Amino acid sequence: MKLLSKHLLFLVVISFPWFVSLGQVAALNVQVREVQGEATRFDPEKGTFVPAVSGFVVDRPTLFVTSAGADFVFSCVGKISGRVSENSRVVLAPAQDGSYEADLRKGTVAILLDPDRPEGGPGFAVRTAQGVTSATGTFFAVTEYKGQTYGKVKKGTVKRKATPPGQPDFAAYLSKSKSKSKPKSKIPAPARKQ
């Protein structure tokens, strides 16, 4: 009996990492794989930016900032990886509704979609102020520079969904002083001849 319980305990201990990895796969989180230079992430618990480190798991939307000469590589479940280039600001988050989305505020993000990835796996899109860009190919990049968005795909096609501009606030253009208008004359207009 003791021998059987030891084998069962051994089997549970050996298979525990497999169950844990299944839980991590189901979560569809993003993981930082490699960091070069000064790449930071905002830590809401500390209220400040901390260095981004290899192995960090993005389990909630997180703002990343890279300085000049810095970049980092991340991976996603479903054979997707990406690189955030220097001088960039991007928010990475776990997948929602079966798709990853990076909110690119400034800089460049390059995404590699493995051509051998399983059919129906998660997709990846990059959101900018001008819209959402995704690709059906294997490699695409998006750059946000001075309010303009540029997208390029190496193989495949780029899908771009433009975001309509927000409602303009015309109240900012109105003068607070009342405009002077000509007073209406109390004299009736002359009758027209027919």
Kind of pairing, strands 99-113 and 123-128?
Answer: parallel
pLDDT in tens, 24-83: 444 789 999 999 999 999 999 999 999 999 999 999 999 999 999 999 999 998 889 999
119-158 confidence digits (pLDDT tens): 888 889 999 988 888 877 788 888 988 888 888 888 777 7
Instruction: State both tokens at 114.
Output: 């493995």
Q: Domains for the chain: give ranges and CATH numbers.
A: 28-173 (2.60.120.1440)
Residue showing tokens 């819209």: 131
Alpha-carbon Rg for the chain in angstroms: 27
For tokens 């390029």, the residue is: 152
33/57 Cα distance (integer angstroms): 9
